[in-house]
Structure 1
């Protein structure tokens, strides 16, 4: 039982309040990466990957590299390098159970975002991995996305958030090291955790 008194449970109830999208929003979805989408992706240094496992349990993972790190192989295929991380492999294990994937591309300073939906495979082809060599190292995996939908998202969320300004900059939050020590209940000092993360940023990017 919900703790809330007024919960929307059917699309009819939802649409009675929300209404329906207009023609521009409805018709803006295209089934491929055209020149406009390609230019945006080639300018993007940051993408969010949304996946879920076989039970529907969701995960969103950030990926970042120099602009254009997500390569447009053709109008229906994107290639995303999987760089070294913490080895949890949340995105990868989800894709083995459920190939559907949603991408959200951002470009610093731009108010619009680009959404791409499709399915994905985990690729180990040497020729594909070699396309992404950085500092002499190729990624151990590449996520190959077969594009089904692509469309630009409106600017209102960026305008409301002031994301690309210093207006909401917050230096009072605890460090990542402090958060990990507490959440993982590690028997190390905050200084040791922060030092490890700082070193990992220097030596473990690729």
Structure 2
């Protein structure tokens, strides 16, 4: 399949209402959802189009809405790869998916991002006394609600459908195998990861 015409032979055109739901601004409803979302997925791509999706988590209300067309989120300490940040340097187009716990619908935002290392709003991005080193400022170009079907199909918010955590490998086990680490146990890696998670969140 190489053309949209071929694609539309399989999937019909959406109704005009589906296109019209993009309001391209942060209205009162979007502000409310952003204020209650502790978790957002950030999609970026480099200049060659190679994509990356990064999870971003902070206490609800930590993503700031500056006005009807701009929002900003802090860049917290991570693995120092800076995949998303480096992508934004070369390609400003980003996508955000805001998730509110227990809510099946999500808020989708697409726009252009810039990196900021200092601004008056950095004080409002401070969490647990830690001021971020960088922030991602997004100028909103598209904004619309995404329906509940994916969350309903996956039963994401139903604990009775969740797998037994004990049946899944720990990150230490995965890291040991992926990196071929022979001189350290998975348990030791897990202890180190747990300590880092507790002491280096911000």
Answer yes or no: is 1:176 the counterpart of 2:171. Answer: yes
Q: CA deviation at 1:124?
A: 0.7
Answer yes or no: is 1:120 the counterpart of 2:113. Answer: yes
Partner of 2:147: 154
Secondary structure of the 2:25 match is: coil
Q: CA deviation at 1:185?
A: 2.5
Q: CA deviation at 1:188?
A: 2.0
Superposition RMSD in Å:
1.1
Equivalent-residue separation in structure 1 for 2:2 and 2:168 (angstroms): 37
Contact 1:123 1:141 (8 Å CA) reproduced: yes
Contact 1:128 1:142 (8 Å CA) reproduced: no
Secondary structure of the 1:149 match is: strand
Contact 1:103 1:116 (8 Å CA) reproduced: yes
Structure 2 unaligned residues grouped into runs of 5+: none
Answer yes or no: is 1:82 the counterpart of 2:60. Answer: no
Secondary structure of the 1:67 match is: coil
Partner of 2:18: 25
Residue of structure 2 aligned with 1:201, choices 189, 192, 197: 197
Residue of structure 1 aligned with 2:96, choices 95, 103, 124: 103
> Which moves more between the two structures, 82-91 or 184-193?
184-193
Partner of 1:4: none
- Taking structure 2 as the reference length, the TM-score comes to 0.95
